[in-house]
Amino acid sequence: MTIAQTLMNRYARRPVGKTTGFCSAVALALLMPGLSGVQANIEIPTEYEPVMPTVEQARANILIARQLQFTHFRDLSVSDELSDDVFESYLDYLDGQRIYLTQKDIDALSDIRNVLGPALRTGQLRPAFQVYNLVQQRVIERLKFALDLVNNGIGQLDFSTDEQIRVDRSETPWEANQAALDELWTKRIKNAVLSQRLNGADNEAIEDNLRRRYEGQLKRAYQARSEDAFQAYMNAFTSMWDPHTSYFSPRTSENFNINMSLSLEGIGAVLQSDNEYTKVVRLVPGGPAAKQGQLQPADRIVSVAQEDEKPVNVIGWRLDEVVDLIRGPRDSKVTLEVIPASATDETLTRTIVIKRDEVKLEEQSASKDIIELERGGEDYTIGVITIPTFYADFQAMQAGDPNYKSTTRDVRKLINELKDASVDGIVMDLRNNGGGALHEANDLVGLFIDQGPTVQIRNANNEVQVLTDQDPSVAYDGPLVVLVNRMSASASEIFAGAIQDYGRGLVVGSQTFGKGTVQAVRPLNHGQLKITQSKFYRVSGGSTQHKGVIPDIKIPSRLDKTRIGEDALDHALPWDQIDAVPHTRYFDFSGIIDQLRENHEKRFATNPEFQLLQKEIEFLEKQRAIDYVTLNSDERKKRHSEIEQTRLTIANTRRELQGEDPFETLDQLEDWRDQQAADPDSTDEELDFVIREGGHIMADLLKMDQNMASILGSSQFAVQTSAQ
């Protein structure tokens, strides 16, 4: 018997669950060549150096498994039944578009598919590393094939056939063999060539671009690290509990908030990995990208270029490396090539230049405007307060500065200024507000109610904590409208939900994001685990998770709900309900809401800006519905021309509404957008029509009941209710 076999037998007899058992499981995991004799029939050529698991990773695996089972909000065990789901999630991460592996490869991995549950309990990482090494080898093979094709000259490619290529392959069957993958990759390269030709590039430039792209990806594949495999596998594992639970590698843990690392210095964007791409999750209010205006949520980054340097293709890069590349000295410029969220295929890109800067607290601060409306011979003055995020200057607060900035403090001042201006009502604009400090959401609700509960928080043990506003004073007791959209999340949803439950105001816009969970970051022996431990519930008992806040009056949005929002994420925690807590109901809108909606719909039926929005939404939905794109050059040019003409028509219609001259060509439009983006502070845009519609809804409220302002603020009309 070998030393390894002796040690395996010794450790296998020891129980797992105590301190000695923990070490035994780690040792056993590292000594075993494969779980229960499972060994996929995979040959890894010597030119690729397979990555191997470490002792620290095995220990971290066991710690992660325990924390998920015993401290996560979702009650889920690391069972044998979990194996298949983890395997599929892992493959989605490594080859989500099914362009590297064949069905033959999947068949070779079939034994591993069934053992990942037991492996995850004991820290046995070799099966998962086998999968990773196979995928890396297949990536290398595909990239070499692509480079050979490009180096042989793209002039040999035939663009006169009726071939098509599928836009999204995530749900397609695996290709049967290498020959089928060769055909698929030839189509992928033809698609890339056609797109670049339509953007004006000649064959020489296209070949150079593609060569640099594939050589860069090939270099990354050869530089695969053990930590890459471990992080991918652990995140496939943790995602079974929910999409916000994730593993941070030691390098990521140096700044565990790596997804937010650009919010303080850089471009001001929250990024995350999305298969081979780095995807924009949201923009930081007041940040360079938000002010520049071209980068949008769900855009995917293809390449990054520094000033006066060639672009670096970042497809397949690790998130932290992309972040490092985008970061840079303040006032320097970075150029991003992105696939727009509205693009019909991955080769339709646009270039965005952003000047780096630090996001300043004052640029995220709440601000006010006043709009004047004339309705049926009556004039209305409506105050507008825009809140980009829920913020607080914690350092100044801890230092005892009596004038420290916070959302609630700033909004209170703005309310007083609007009251001095004798406004008839206030519109609170929380669109694109991704949340922030929870206590600020609680305090902000308190500005509009006497006192009472604002949100409930339930932990994994079903213990419920109720946050309350204990200040009986009210900063504003007049009529209120709250604007939200799909990017309103977390603290924004708490505020909007509370205002809705209290009958304190109307919520207008589109369904919010649905982020109703709370995460904590916990240290491991190797990296950190961000784990979901609690869930938000409204005072009426319904969760903000998954469903978000449904507006009383809906306004459609350009954003794609199938790609943005909690309900678009795999394994998101479901909506549920707990007991309501007693709270005041200030006004019952049920008797007038139908009339308010009817008035709103009549206005929008004749509103040219709304009609243009509808046209844009229809155009985007039509683009999103495209499953295939043609590889026929003539057909592609025709389709491209139709899309460009529609874009130009929409842009010119908006120009005409603003009293501006239309553009003659799309190039003129793009040049104008670049000029605007280069100096985002140079323009003073009017309040958009959604805010004005919020004002009109306010005017409807006042017209229906001239006494509403006093009714809302008068305690004698308040009804104490235990929300049903």
Pairing of strands 265-266, 357-358: antiparallel
Select from 704, 453, 446 the least CA-distant residue to 589.
704
Select which of 368, 515, 535, 547 is catalytic. 515
Decide if 234 contacts 61 (C-beta within 8 A).
yes
Tokens found for residue 362 = 């004052």
Can 501 be counted among the known catalytic residues?
Answer: yes
Q: What is the rounded CA–CA span in Å between residue 684 and residue 672?
A: 16
The catalytically annotated residue of 501, 552, 560, 700 is 501
Residue 568's alpha-carbon distances to 36, 547, 559, in angstroms, are 37, 11, 12
Distances (CA, A) of 153 to 158, 189, 206, 470: 12, 11, 10, 73
Contact 81, 249 (CB under 8 A): no
How many of the other CB atoms lie within 10 Å of CB of 466? 13
Alpha-carbon distance of 454 to 456, in angstroms, equals: 7
Element (H, E) at 612: helix 608-624
Instruction: Check residue 661 and report its DSSP letter.
Output: P
What is the DSSP-derived secondary structure letter of residue 566? Answer: G
426 bridge partner residues: 383, 480
Tell me the β-bridge partners of 529: 247, 522
> Which positions ≥6 away from 191 have C-beta within 8 Å?
165, 345, 347, 629, 631
Instruction: Report CA-CA distances (Å) from 75 to 50, 68, 121, 532, 629.
Output: 36, 9, 16, 12, 43
Backbone φ and ψ of 107, nearest 5°: -65, -40
For residues 112 and 117, give the distance between their C-alpha atoms in angstroms, rounded to a whole number.
10
19-55: buried (b, 16+ CB within 10 Å) or exposed (e) per residue?
Answer: eeebbbbbbbbbebebbeebebeeeeeeebebbebee
Distances (CA, A) of 447 to 166, 206, 480, 494, 495: 53, 59, 12, 14, 11
CA–CA gap between residue 651 and residue 644 (Å, rounded): 11
* Non-local CB neighbours of 559 within 8 Å, separated by 6+ positions: 297, 298, 485, 486, 487, 510
User: φ, ψ for residue 278 (rounded to 5)?
Assistant: -105, 120
What is the distance, to the nearest Å, from the Cα of residue 420 to the centroid of all Cα atoms in its chain? 40
> What is d(CA 575, CA 545) in angstroms, rounded to the nearest whole number?
5
Query: Which residue has tokens 């874009």?
Result: 647
- Decide if 490 is catalytic: yes
**3-class secondary structure for 345-381?**
CCCCCEEEEEECEECCHHHHCCEEEEEEEEECCEEEE
Q: Which residues pair with 480 in a beta bridge?
A: 426
Structure tokens at 686: 């009017």
DSSP 3-state of 301: strand
Read off the DSSP letter of residue 552.
S
466, two tokens: 């109720």
- Which of the residues 261, 490, 492, 557 is marked catalytic? 490
Active site residue 515: yes
Report d(CA 426, CA 416) in Å as an integer: 11
Residues with a catalytic annotation lie at 490, 501, 515
